[in-house]
Amino acid sequence: MPAPPPIFPVSHIELPDFEQHLLANGLPCYHINRGTQDLVRIEFICWGGRPYEKHPLVARTTAALLKEGTRRHTGSAIAEQFDYYGAHLSVPFQMDTGNLAMHCLNKQLPEILPFFIEILCEPALRQTDLQAYLKRKQQSLKEDLSKAEVVAYRNITEHFFGADHPYGYNSSPEAYADLQQEWLVEHHYRCFHAGNGFAIVSGRFDEATSSYIHGELARIPNRAAVPINTLTIAEQTPGKIVIPHVQGGQAAIRIGRRLFSRTHPDANGCYVLANLLGGYFGSRLMENIREDKGYTYNISAGYDSFRWGGTFQIDTEVSPEYVQETLQEIRHEIARLRDELIEEEELQMLRNYLMGSFLTMVDGPFNWAETVRTLLTEQLGKTDLAALIRTVQDISPEEIQRLAQRYLQDEDLWTVVVGP
Amino acid sequence: MIQYKRFTLANGLRVLVHEDHSSPMATVNLCYYVGARDESPERTGFAHLFEHLMFSGTKAAPNFDAPLQMAGGENNAFTNNDITNYYNVVPAENLEVALWLESDRMHNIRFSEKKLDVQRKVVVEEFKETCLNEPYGDVWHHLAELAYKVHPYRWPTIGMVPEHVSEASLEDVQAFYDKYYQPNNAVLIVAGKVDTDKVEVLVEKWFGHLPSGPLIERVLPPEPPQQALQQRILKAQEPADALYLGFHIPSRVDRDYYGVDMLSDILGNGPSSRLYRRLLKDKELFSAIDCYVSGSIDPGLLIIEAKPVEGINNQQARAAIWEELELLKREGVNTRELEKVKNKVESTLIFSELSVLNKAINLAFFEILGNAELINQEAQLYRKITGKELQNLAQRIFVEDNCSEVTYEAALEEAVAEV
């Protein structure tokens, strides 16, 4: 066997530009033009997610119903048109924004894009479609609630923010039953327009295709930007919640706390801290609880951010007989973060792993478009991503320990256990 | 068009190199020709358990993941009925690290009781997470058992019961490794930002010295044609009723596979597909409905899964689905519908070529099937299918005697009734 080869750390990541074009209707349109295939993806993104709702569940329901038909075409005709040309229409769910996306081969664009604009601007939002949607939704909610992990997730996020906060509230059969069709019409009129969002065009396209796309997107009307609701967090003292749940063979565990948005000075450091604890296969939690103890198939920790806030969460599913040991080991790993400085070799592995994951972000037009969407949705730019990369490269063991001591004290963390 | 160079080492390892310089990454994909169908009926789930043990470490790399993560790479693996596939995606300058790790673990793994014990527990937790926690998560256990009586597809990859996994011994592990994890039973794909000439040298350096293993003779009992409808009713703690129909279809290597795949598209792929549009949207009978094919090397299944809305029982649901199948058999597909699925196949293939990893996994699978060039011929094979062929296939496949049916009836008490 030859000697192991040398390992070259990724030292630099070239972040591609995403040029902004301001269209005639005032809509900012970002271009990500690269890749190897003649296909294009267009996503319209507006400030019409949960923080902009007047009633719970309106944002998601409005977006979902866009596909159900326009004033001129039935949902069936739209579905037929997209399928016939091998195109795809989707409603990516995001917390802060209302989104509508499509992708197709460039050559099919003239058959598809006019429909996309029509769906965006003139949805029918019919009462009958709302009723049919609610019927399906109530059933899928019933199925979701039979899963311990879903119950755990719903419970812990509600405690982070409060049951009335846009990031904290949960869907319920009652809230669905309350939905009024005119609320959807109002939400759509107020939020889905050129004065309240932006578009991202990604793929490989030429000048002519680009100006065609601009012409179509410029048909979206422009109205006044939507102000953010006042967000009030219901502060509660963190504790442990145990919820009995009979279905399934395992218990779901969630441990975490509310954090902050990416604009906070400690956000980048917390990203590194969460990854060290549970962000990859070699993380502390995976190495200990899966690879050494065999208590679980999967355990992870992550820092998730929104435009107006964020969370830190650990989640796993284990057999009932391992719940106590797993909780104990998680607490032990969190204590190690606070009490011990990370060794240079482990920190180097974490840095290199994360640098490799950043490289994946710029691999192909659609991966990069997704990263750009996240940045723009959180009101960030390329320099902020560059700053995150710098933090990954430069963060010291002392800084990681400081962050763990500041944000991961046992008394600041909620624990939710759902299971038999 | 996916271009590649193909060569075979003296020890029998087949190698394909595909350059794609639009990506900053290199992919090393190693596919072993062994899956759940090669297991003994008393040790089901073993191929998948073994996949976990491939991360046990060697003398040179005691922790498989550590050097790969140090190299900025990501890796994972999957096992199905036919193959076990390992992949690594690394920044291009660290290609050799992935080649080293894969060659090292093809020959030098040190299994131990401790590692085996941990992974047995991990896999039992995986069994619980995927089959018991998920509503209807055990459907594949029931459907496979109904549809196959003699062929090893009668058990799922995760294993028939957790006990099979917890009883696996270190001797079983070593014997399986010695038999199947050999260069002549594997296909290596190197793809992405790589140089073919350099890859040839590196592959020779890392894999050339490995001895080849025994020839594997695979004699699996073919599944005799099904003679009558197979039904199982489960009164389980599921949130709502559900219905699963499985129909025997030709193997992935059979030309008819392409027609069957298109039938599944016509029935269930996309918002204008027949089952979705007519039964879920227009008649509002279901909250979810889907249709797909298993695509296995030995003859597989076309599966229709459906969740009736409240107020619709499984009998009504079954009748509605059969009505659509009978219509398809009677009237076939129209020209526009045929054109639609062909357009969909074309755009799906073009989109799938955006991902280097996707291309690498497909190349490996086609090479295992015996012909990597199929990857570039498939679009054409789909294009050639006629409406008449689809109708004939539908008439052959959608008959009650060829169907296995699992229904869940939402109930509080747990009981299983066989019909």
**B71 has pLDDT over 70:** yes
Per-residue model confidence (pLDDT) at position B269: 93
A107-123 per-position pLDDT tens digit: 999 999 999 999 999 99
Half-sphere exposure of A195 (CA within 13 A, CB side): 10
Per-residue model confidence (pLDDT) at position B220: 96
Separation of CA A75 from chain center: 27
**B230 has pLDDT over 90:** yes
**pTM to 2 decimal places:** 0.94
Per DSSP, B183 falls in state: G
Residue B295's nearest CA partner among B391, B354, B374 is: B374
Query: Which residues of chain A neighbour B134 with C-beta distances below 8 Å?
Result: 147, 248
Please name the member of A7, A35, A132 whose beta carbon is closest to the beta carbon of B71. Answer: A7
CATH architecture of B5-207: 2-Layer Sandwich (3.30)
Q: What is the CATH number of domain A19-217?
A: 3.30.830.10
> What's the gap in Å between the CA of A109 and the closest CA on chain B?
13
Pairing of strands B14-19, B186-192: parallel
Residue B354's nearest CA partner among A44, A246, A204 is: A204
> Do the domains at B5-207 and B230-418 have one common CATH topology?
yes
Half-sphere exposure of B99 (CA within 13 A, CB side): 29
Number of CB atoms found within 10 A of residue A146's CB = 20
How far apart, in whole angstroms, are the C-alpha atoms of residue A167 and residue A229?
A: 12
Per-residue model confidence (pLDDT) at position A333: 98
> What's the gap in Å between the CA of A292 and the closest CA on chain B?
7
How far apart, in whole angstroms, are the C-alpha atoms of residue B140 and residue B150?
A: 16
Q: Which two tokens stand for residue B129?
A: 């997470």
How far apart, in whole angstroms, are the C-alpha atoms of residue B24 and residue A363?
A: 7
Q: Does B62 lie at the interface with A, CB-CB under 8 angstroms? A: no
**Strand arrangement of the beta sheet that strand A39-46 belongs to:** A19-22, A28-33, A197-203, A39-46, A98-105, A88-90
Q: Tell me if A122 sits within 8 A of A70, measured CB to CB.
A: yes
**A65 has pLDDT over 70:** yes
Q: What is the CATH number of domain A240-419?
A: 3.30.830.10
CB contact under 8 A, B91 and A359: yes
A115-159 per-position pLDDT tens digit: 999 999 999 999 999 999 999 998 899 999 999 999 999 999 999
Question: Which 3 state secondary structure label does DSSP give B33?
Answer: coil
Q: Which two tokens stand for residue A164?
A: 């009335």
Query: Residue A246 contacts by C-beta under 8 Å, 6 or more apart in sequence?
Result: A420, B237
Per-residue model confidence (pLDDT) at position B419: 35
Helix (H) or strand (E) holding B360: helix B356-369
> What's the gap in Å between the CA of B221 and the closest CA on chain A?
33
The radius of gyration of chain A from alpha carbons, rounded to an integer in Å, stands at 23
Query: Which residues of chain B neighbour A2 with C-beta distances below 8 Å?
Result: 100, 205-206
How far apart, in whole angstroms, are the C-alpha atoms of residue B316 and residue B279?
A: 11
B279-325 per-position pLDDT tens digit: 999 999 999 999 999 999 999 999 999 999 989 999 999 999 999 99
A170-223 per-position pLDDT tens digit: 999 999 999 999 999 999 999 999 999 999 999 999 999 999 999 999 999 999
> What's the gap in Å between the CA of B175 and the closest CA on chain A?
23
Q: 3-class secondary structure for chain A?
A: CCCCCCCCCCCCCCCCCCEEEECCCCCEEEEEECCCCCEEEEEEEECCCHHHCCCCCHHHHHHHHHHHEECCCEHHHHHHHHHHCCCEEECCCCCCCEEEEEEEEHHHHHHHHHHHHHHHHCECCCHHHHHHHHHHHHHHHHHHHCCHHHHHHHHHHHHHHCCCCCCCCCCCHHHHHHCCHHHHHHHHHHHCCHHHEEEEEEECCCHHHHHHHHHHHCCCCCCCCCCCCCCCCCCCCCCEEEEECCCCCCEEEEEEEEECCCCCCCHHHHHHHHHHHHCCCCCHHHHHHHHHCCCEEEEEEEEEECCCCEEEEEEEEECHHHHHHHHHHHHHHHHHHHHCCCCHHHHHHHHHHHHHHHHHHCCCHHHHHHHHHHHHHCCCCHHHHHHHHHHHHHCCHHHHHHHHHHHCCHHHCEEEEEEC
> To the nearest whole number, what is the mean pLDDT of chain A?
96
CB contact under 8 A, A85 and B63: no
User: Would you tell me which residues 98-127 of chain B have a C-beta closer than 8 angstroms to some C-beta of chain A?
Assistant: 99-100, 103-104, 108, 117-126
Helix (H) or strand (E) holding B14: strand B14-19
pLDDT confidence of B73, banded at 50, 70, 90?
very high
Conformation bin of residue A78: beta by default, left when phi > 0, alpha when psi is -120 to 50: alpha
A382-401 per-position pLDDT tens digit: 999 999 999 999 999 999 99
Q: Does B72 lie at the interface with A, CB-CB under 8 angstroms? A: yes
B86-127 per-position pLDDT tens digit: 999 999 999 999 999 999 999 999 999 999 999 999 999 999
Query: Residue A128 contacts by C-beta under 8 Å, 6 or more apart in sequence?
Result: none
Please name the member of B99, B117, B351 whose beta carbon is closest to the beta carbon of A39. Answer: B351
CB contact under 8 A, A1 and B355: no
Query: Which residues of chain B neighbour A290 with C-beta distances below 8 Å?
Result: 122
Q: Tell me if A112 sits within 8 A of A212, measured CB to CB.
A: no
Number of CB atoms found within 10 A of residue B370's CB = 8
B169-195 per-position pLDDT tens digit: 999 999 999 999 999 999 999 999 999
Per-residue model confidence (pLDDT) at position B202: 98
Query: Which residues of chain B neighbour A292 with C-beta distances below 8 Å?
Result: 118
Q: Which two tokens stand for residue A27?
A: 């809509």
Q: Tell me if A302 sits within 8 A of A312, measured CB to CB.
A: yes
pLDDT confidence of B239, banded at 50, 70, 90?
confident
pLDDT confidence of B415, banded at 50, 70, 90?
very low
Helix (H) or strand (E) holding B243: strand B242-248
Token pair 């129209």 is at which residue?
Answer: B334
Q: Catalytic residue positions of B?
A: 51
Interface size between A and B, measured as CB pairs under 8 A: 217
The fraction of chain A above a pLDDT of 70, given in percent, is 100
Per-residue model confidence (pLDDT) at position A110: 97
How far apart, in whole angstroms, are the C-alpha atoms of residue A90 and residue A77?
A: 16
> What's the gap in Å between the CA of A291 and the closest CA on chain B?
7
Query: Residue A405 contacts by C-beta under 8 Å, 6 or more apart in sequence?
Result: A338
Question: Which 3 state secondary structure label does DSSP give B135?
Answer: coil
Question: Which 3 state secondary structure label does DSSP give B217?
Answer: coil
Q: Does B32 lie at the interface with A, CB-CB under 8 angstroms? A: no
Helix (H) or strand (E) holding B408: strand B403-410
Q: How far apart are the first and last CA of chain A?
A: 51
Q: What are phi and psi of A353, to 5 degrees?
A: -60, -45
**Strand arrangement of the beta sheet that strand A251-259 belongs to:** A240-244, A414-419, A251-259, A310-318, A296-305
Closest alpha carbon within chain A to B124: A297
Most confident of A31-40, B142-151, B410-419: B142-151
**Domain segments of chain A: what residues?**
19-217, 240-419
> To the nearest whole number, what is the mean pLDDT of chain B?
94
**Domain segments of chain B: what residues?**
5-207, 230-418
Q: Which two tokens stand for residue B334?
A: 């129209």
Half-sphere exposure of A413 (CA within 13 A, CB side): 22
Helix (H) or strand (E) holding B122: helix B113-127
Per-residue model confidence (pLDDT) at position B413: 37
Most confident of B213-217, B271-275, B377-381: B271-275
Closest alpha carbon within chain A to B205: A2
pLDDT confidence of B417, banded at 50, 70, 90?
very low
CB contact under 8 A, A250 and B129: yes
Closest alpha carbon within chain B to A293: B118
CB contact under 8 A, A37 and B74: no
How far apart, in whole angstroms, are the C-alpha atoms of residue B204 and residue A230?
A: 65
User: Would you tell me which residues 143-202 of chain B have a C-beta closer than 8 angstroms to some C-beta of chain A?
Assistant: none
Per-residue model confidence (pLDDT) at position B238: 79
How far apart, in whole angstroms, are the C-alpha atoms of residue A312 and residue B103?
A: 39
Residue A149's nearest CA partner among B134, B194, B284 is: B134
Q: Tell me if B19 sits within 8 A of B77, measured CB to CB.
A: no
Q: What is the CATH number of domain B230-418?
A: 3.30.830.10
**B412 has pLDDT over 70:** no
Query: Which residues of chain A neighbour B383 with C-beta distances below 8 Å?
Result: none
